[in-house]
A = this chain, B = another copy of it.
Amino acid sequence: MRRVANSPVRAYPKPQTLDDVLGFELLEVSTERCRARFAVEERVRQPMGLVHGGAYAALAESMVSITTNTVVAEDGSSAVGQSNHTSFLRPATDGYVNADARARHRGRSSWIWDVDFTDDEGRLCAVSRVTLAVRPTRGG
């Protein structure tokens, strides 16, 4: 596992896009792991005050997409999300939601990532399995 250049972390998030609006932070990007988080504020909550299930799914999607693209770009390829399956285990209500993603499969045409979400006490709140399709970049 090799730490990739810092540029994806520094350029993230693009202003005004979903990741920025929801307060996502990218902490570390390696070739087969990445870490990210968001603070539990009103903007990531559903009406009952819990973290919205879509916030977990969205962060999983963002962090593994950025990481995969950073890696496969070196081969002239790009990656797009194909499927995101997130299971919700226990509610989070304050502090940070901390995400740790691990690549389970890095194939020529698809990558699969597992993402674990924990609260600040280290309790597992949600898990995502994300599949990305990898394709040669147009004109690449």
- A62 CA to B45 CA in the complex, in Å? 11
Segment 5-38 of A: residues with Cβ below 8 Å from B: 13-14, 16-19, 21-22
A131 and B83 contacting across the interface, CB-CB below 8 Å: yes
Interface residues on A, range: 35 or more
- A14 CA to B48 CA in the complex, in Å? 10
> Known contacts A18-B45, A83-B86, A85-B84: does B109 contact A127 (CB below 8 Å)?
no
Set of chain B residues within 8 Å of A104, measured between Cβ atoms: 89, 124, 127
- A81 CA to B65 CA in the complex, in Å? 22
A55 within 8 A of B: yes
Which residue from chain B places its CB closest to the CB of A47 in the assembled complex?
Answer: B14
